[in-house]
């Protein structure tokens, strides 16, 4: 049914719903889920407010109000009391005009909204809360639980707000309720104890009770995650290709010679295990698609090299792709050094490789003379051809888009074995959904002799103390990184910047040499500075996050992050991973302003509490949501998540994946007519509509 004909819609609104929400049919509309419910059945007391996540309603009256500031800075501050405590309600600029005349001190109001914790007053307050006279609202609610829908600015401007959506839903539901087709088999519903679709849609929009609402939401989450899993796993099944070219059974001279005569240390148990796992894939006769996760410093490069040697033993070439030129150079150097004298030829291809060098390189690749080619994405963009590319290793893949990866396919008769390495630990839920088609290997052990990095959090006022510490460390022969969020000063942002920072350190430490890298430098300059630091010719490296990924200078033992509040958890963890690579005690010092938001405090707390990348990744997912995590936008979920959350629905995800696996076990690509309902539903699920202008509260 076309949504236009639902009372309360009409052609103009239908157009808007289509453009803003991707809604065309009645079913599309019913899959626009509330993002929250306000519990109208109970009033909170001000003193009960203890987080920013719960929307609450409070009954009380106004004690007084004042308007502060002028123009854009103007705000209306209202003192509201529930009879016991008071709380501040705030309205800014334009809103003041129509709120203020309505406010009366003798009226009893119900306010509702999401409390915010003010970093200035250190108390909770409400910004632009909804405010109604007592009794006005409660009559039209459904047993206390009132649904709220996300609407865009444009929708709000044409009065298509949450109330309007609620009205449309209540008109629509009775019209279609009899004919909603179930999307999960009765077998699945029974075995997983799920509510049927009709009841679920009814209760997600008009919950008869909290319990039924939760059952409805569980079922809808299950459905969403189930189809994602079904899609991913089925696609993976369809991709499986068998070929003699994929068979790499030999462990030959290159591997053995390196293992027995050139390996500078013994492998950790975890390294041994993942090499075995990778080797099993490489022998199997089908294409490997494996994700290798291992925290910073866990020794992934060595694993990459050893499996490249296995490929070489089977007459196949390997390319290793790094996200930055610095890192590609570094891999090239480390690996060249390690394989010196083994007969393995390694080459480097980056943006700085000259045309003349390229010509020679192309020939050597075609003749099979080069065993391992290391490079940046220049490597895929360049029209290099290999004699037989058998293995592609992608380091820190979140910088490589899916499109770029697929270009690799053109470089060989068959897509090569793929090994994706990442030090940004991916929470399990995310790995299962975004990388659900990849097998996962984990290095969960650090090379021996590492001391855990000590992390402390300082505020900017403690910079003096920090300088003493830096000096002590350098006296001990160590080196120091200082990372800034900006390169150049920006008057609008109250942040420290690298250029001033460089001056600051030059002035404060005239006895030391200071070098600098940032993204706007020419690659050769960047490289020269990095080399100087790596050789120990300078003591302090002032940098931006270009040094975030993979750089290895074991003698550097102090990482200082200025304006640490500006960085996400994974980024901070990555930065911290630049130190702690040698035998010395290392330190990570997070500098922030005095005033911190609640989220920032949480981030600093987690960083100082743990070095465990997986815990940090989980916390990151909780704090930011999966959409923000590096890499997910690029690799993307196959379908948009409308109700399930990767941060909190891990259990449902496990069940949904299990259900999908059971179905595919008997019918790997869903050819069987009895599974036609799944195919049909997969076809109906459309790719996500990109939306950016969600209002916070509708
Ligand atoms: P990452 O996993 O972050 O890429 P690297 O591969 O850069 O880590 O390794 C970090 C450091 O650990 C390197 O200096 C490397 O030589 C060293 N290393 C790797 N494996 C071992 C091992 N088994 N024993 C001791 N040191 C090792
Ligand atoms: Mg690495």
**Chain centre to alpha carbon of residue 466:** 32
Out of 376-390, 417-431, 564-578, least confident range = 417-431
User: Highest-confidence range of 311-320, 454-463, 645-654, 687-696, by mean pLDDT?
Assistant: 311-320
Q: Check residue 410 and give its pLDDT.
A: 67
Q: Which of 559, 614, 582, 277 is nearest to 424 (CA)?
A: 614
Between 222 and 289, the higher pLDDT residue: 222
Q: Check residue 695 and give its pLDDT.
A: 24
Q: How far is the CA of 539 from the centre of ligand 1 (A)?
A: 23
Matching residue, tokens 């010679």: 257
pLDDT tens-digit readout, 499-522: 999 999 999 999 999 999 998 888
Say how far apart CA 483 and CA 209 lie, in whole Å.
52
The answer to whether residue 434 scores a pLDDT higher than 90 is no
Q: Check residue 69 and give its pLDDT.
A: 85
Q: Check residue 526 and give its pLDDT.
A: 86
pLDDT tens-digit readout, 521-561: 887 888 889 889 989 999 999 999 888 666 788 899 999 99
Pair 538, 532: CB distance under 8 Å: yes
Percent of the residues in the chain that have a pLDDT greater than 70, as a whole number: 91
Q: How far is the CA of 552 from the centre of ligand 1 (A)?
A: 9
Pair 96, 74: CB distance under 8 Å: yes
Out of 126-140, 248-262, 499-513, least confident range = 126-140
Q: How far is the CA of 447 from the centre of ligand 1 (A)?
A: 7
The answer to whether residue 223 scores a pLDDT higher than 70 is yes
Q: Check residue 698 and give its pLDDT.
A: 20
Q: How far is the CA of 400 from the centre of ligand 2 (A)?
A: 15
**Strands 115-117 vs 454-459: parallel, antiparallel or unpaired:** unpaired
574 within ligand 1 shell (Cβ under 6 A): no
Percent of the residues in the chain that have a pLDDT greater than 90, as a whole number: 47
φ, ψ for residue 483 (rounded to 5)?
A: -110, 135
Q: Which residues contact 291 (CB under 8 A, 6 or more apart)?
A: 420, 421, 422, 426, 431, 435, 438, 439, 440, 441
449 Cα nearest atom in ligand 1:
25
Mean pLDDT value of segment 129-139: 72
pTM of the full structure: 0.69
Two tokens, residue 206? 């008009």
Integer angstrom CA distances of residue 146 from 56, 164, 214, 219? 12, 13, 14, 20
Sign of torsion, CA 571 575 580 585? negative
Q: Check residue 689 and give its pLDDT.
A: 40
302 within ligand 1 shell (Cβ under 6 A): yes
Ligand nearest 582 Cα, by number?
1
Burial 380-395 (b: 16+ CB within 10 A, else e): bebebebbebbbbbbb
Q: Which amino acid residue places its CA nearest to atom 25 of ligand 1?
A: 447
What mean pLDDT, rounded, does the chain reach?
86
Q: Check residue 409 and give its pLDDT.
A: 64
Out of 108-122, 303-317, 660-674, least confident range = 108-122
The confidence band for 287, taking pLDDT boundaries of 50, 70 and 90, is confident
Say how far apart CA 276 and CA 319 lie, in whole Å.
20
Sign of torsion, CA 457 460 462 466? positive
555 within ligand 1 shell (Cβ under 6 A): no
What are the strands of the beta sheet with 454-459, ordered from one edge? 454-459, 587-592, 556-561, 479-483, 540-543, 514-517
Report the residue among 262, 292, 293, 299 best suited for mutation to probe ligand 1: largest number of ligand atoms under 8 A from its CB.
Answer: 299
Q: Check residue 256 and give its pLDDT.
A: 97
CB-proximal residues (5 Å) to ion ligand 2: 550
Residues facing residue 560 across a β-bridge: 482, 589
């Amino acid at each position: 049914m076309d949504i236009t004909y639902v009372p309360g819609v009409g052609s103009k609104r239908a157009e808007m719903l289509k453009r803003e929400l991707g809604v065309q049919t009645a079913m599309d509309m019913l899959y626009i889920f509330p993002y929250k419910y306000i519990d109208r059945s109970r009033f909170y007391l001000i003193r009960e407010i203890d987080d920013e996540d719960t929307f609450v309603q409070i009954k009380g009256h106004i004690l007084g109000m004042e308007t502060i500031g002028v123009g854009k800075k103007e705000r209306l501050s209202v003192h509201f009391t529930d009879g016991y405590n008071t709380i501040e309600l705030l309205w800014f600029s334009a809103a003041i005009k129509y709120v203020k005349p309505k406010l009366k001190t003798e009226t009893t109001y119900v306010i509702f909204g999401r409390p915010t914790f003010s970093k200035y007053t250190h108390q909770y307050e409400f910004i632009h809360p909804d405010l109604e006279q007592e009794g006005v609202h409660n009559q039209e609610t459904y047993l206390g639980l009132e649904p709220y829908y996300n609407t865009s600015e444009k929708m709000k401007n044409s009065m298509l707000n949450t109330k309007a959506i609620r009205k449309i839903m209540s008109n629509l539901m009775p019209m279609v309720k009899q004919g909603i087709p179930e999307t999960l088999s009765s077998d699945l519903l029974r075995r997983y104890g799920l509510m049927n679709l009709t009841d679920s849609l009814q209760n997600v929009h008009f919950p008869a009770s909290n319990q039924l609402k939760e059952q409805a939401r569980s079922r809808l989450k299950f459905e969403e995650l189930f189809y994602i899993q079904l899609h991913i796993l089925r696609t993976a099944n369809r991709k499986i290709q068998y070929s003699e070219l994929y068979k790499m059974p030999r462990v030959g001279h290159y591997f053995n010679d390196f293992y027995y005569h050139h390996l500078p240390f013994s492998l950790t148990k975890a390294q041994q295990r993942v090499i075995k796992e990778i080797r099993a894939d490489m022998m199997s006769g089908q294409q490997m698609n494996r994700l290798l996760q291992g925290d910073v410093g866990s020794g992934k490069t060595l694993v990459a090299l050893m499996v490249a040697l296995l490929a070489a033993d089977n007459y196949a070439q390997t390319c290793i792709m790094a996200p930055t030129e610095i890192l590609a150079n570094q891999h090239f150097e480390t690996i060249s050094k390690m394989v010196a004298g083994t007969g393995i030829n390694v080459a480097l291809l980056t943006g700085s490789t000259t045309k003349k060098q390229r010509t020679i390189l192309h020939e050597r690749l075609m003749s099979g003379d080069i065993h391992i080619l290391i490079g940046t994405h220049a490597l895929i963009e360049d029209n290099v051809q290999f004699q037989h590319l058998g293995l592609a290793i992608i380091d820190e893949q979140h910088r490589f888009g899916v499109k770029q990866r697929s270009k690799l396919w053109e470089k060989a008769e068959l897509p090569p074995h793929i090994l994706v390495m990442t030090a940004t630990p991916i929470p399990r839920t995310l790995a299962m959904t975004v990388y659900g088609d990849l097998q996962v290997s984990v290095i969960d052990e650090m090379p021996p002799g590492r001391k855990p990095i000590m992390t402390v959090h300082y505020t900017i006022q403690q910079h003096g103390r920090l300088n003493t510490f830096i000096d002590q460390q350098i006296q001990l022969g160590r080196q120091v990184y200082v990372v800034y969020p900006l390169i150049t000063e920006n008057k609008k942002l109250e942040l420290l910047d690298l250029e001033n920072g460089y001056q600051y350190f030059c002035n404060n430490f005239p006895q030391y040499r200071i070098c600098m890298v940032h993204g706007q430098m020419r690659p050769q300059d960047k490289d020269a500075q990095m080399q100087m630091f790596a050789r120990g010719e300078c003591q302090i490296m002032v940098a931006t996050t270009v040094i975030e990924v993979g750089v290895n200078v074991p003698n550097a033992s102090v990482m200082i992050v200025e304006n640490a509040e500006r960085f996400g958890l994974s980024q901070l963890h990555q930065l911290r991973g630049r130190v702690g690579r040698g035998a010395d005690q290392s330190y990570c010092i997070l500098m922030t302003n005095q005033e911190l938001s609640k989220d920032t405090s949480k981030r600093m707390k987690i960083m100082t509490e743990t070095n465990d990348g997986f815990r940090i990744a989980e916390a990151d997912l909780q704090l930011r949501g999966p959409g923000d995590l590096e890499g997910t936008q690029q690799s993307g979920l196959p379908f948009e998540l409308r109700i399930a959350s990767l941060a909190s629905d891990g259990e449902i995800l496990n069940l949904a994946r299990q259900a999908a696996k059971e179905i595919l076990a008997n019918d790997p690509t869903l050819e069987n007519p009895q599974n036609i309902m799944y195919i049909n539903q997969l076809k109906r699920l459309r790719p996500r509509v990109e939306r950016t202008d969600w209002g916070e509260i509708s």
